[in-house]
Amino acid sequence: MPFKRMRLRNDIKEFKVYNVKIFNEKLMYKVLKEEDKKLAFKIYLYLGGLFITSLVVSNLIFQKFFYWKPFGDIEVFGAPLFEISVGILPYPLTFLITDLISEIFGRKKANQIVTAGIFASFFSMGIVLLANEVPAIPTSPVNDEVFNHVFALSPIAVFASMLAYLFAQYVDIGIYHFWKKLTNGKQLWLRNNFSTFLSQFIDTFTVVGLLCIFQILPWEMFYGLVISGFVFKVIVAFLDTPLLYFFVYLFRRRFNLKVNQEIDLVA
């Protein structure tokens, strides 16, 4: 009898824990009315479109470099600070968008957008490589030499850099939700910045390293580009934190979301 009573108590305890878990999950997701769900889904698609556009464009323009001098002429490892690729300009926007989607729509929806962005990048690179193989006519405004100089990319380098970016984005989303769970949906600035810092360093270090390995960039630029790129992204991450707070506030007010509550687009 004592053994049966102990087993019964354990079963009751497990049943209570399971019900509490299901209850918390229901509280975490907001089921919207049909009209609000359509609006939320439309906004999700718009955010996804911005993400994919930023990602594809950054891969098309990354071969041009510029020099930003907010602190004067400073050199790092012999290279000017903030001597960076124009391809870095849209990148911080992609991390802001995934953080916003993570906060409002959840981890699964953020991962889906990242995967779609990578597919779009590979598809666009395939079209560029195909266009590069087609010979230009004599009267073409852009001849083969100019087109090849601007768009001829190493397929291996692009593939490797895309994998690096994919990994960095998944790391960003994973760390974001780790801090979100740990803080119970509070301290938005903490998960926004901490997730971005690590993922941006992984992305910058890996992509610049791969571009140097495949001889698209000289190794002399490696340390300068890594430090400049990372510091630039950290500055942008600090600057975009108020924007994240602003958009999260708008979402929560429009859809009546509580702290740590996400929109369920499926139910």
**83 compared with 78, residue with greater pLDDT:** 83
The pLDDT of residue 194 is 83
Phi first, then psi, for residue 200 (nearest 5°) are: -70, -35
pLDDT (mean) for 96-100: 91
The pLDDT of residue 112 is 93
Residue 147 has pLDDT above 80, yes or no: yes
Residue 35 has pLDDT above 80, yes or no: yes
Query: Cα–Cα distance between 37 and 40 in angstroms, integer?
Result: 5
Residue 251 has pLDDT above 90, yes or no: yes
Strand partners, 83: 67
Residue 151 has pLDDT above 70, yes or no: yes
**151 compared with 230, residue with greater pLDDT:** 230
Tell me the whole-structure pTM to 2 decimals.
0.78
Residue 142 has pLDDT above 70, yes or no: yes
pLDDT (mean) for 27-44: 85
Question: In this predicted model, what pLDDT tens digit does every residue of 46-75 receive, in sequence order?
Answer: 999 999 999 888 878 877 878 777 776 777
Domain ranges in the chain are 25-264
Question: In this predicted model, what pLDDT tens digit does every residue of 170-215 receive, in sequence order?
Answer: 888 888 889 888 888 888 888 888 888 888 888 888 888 887 887 7
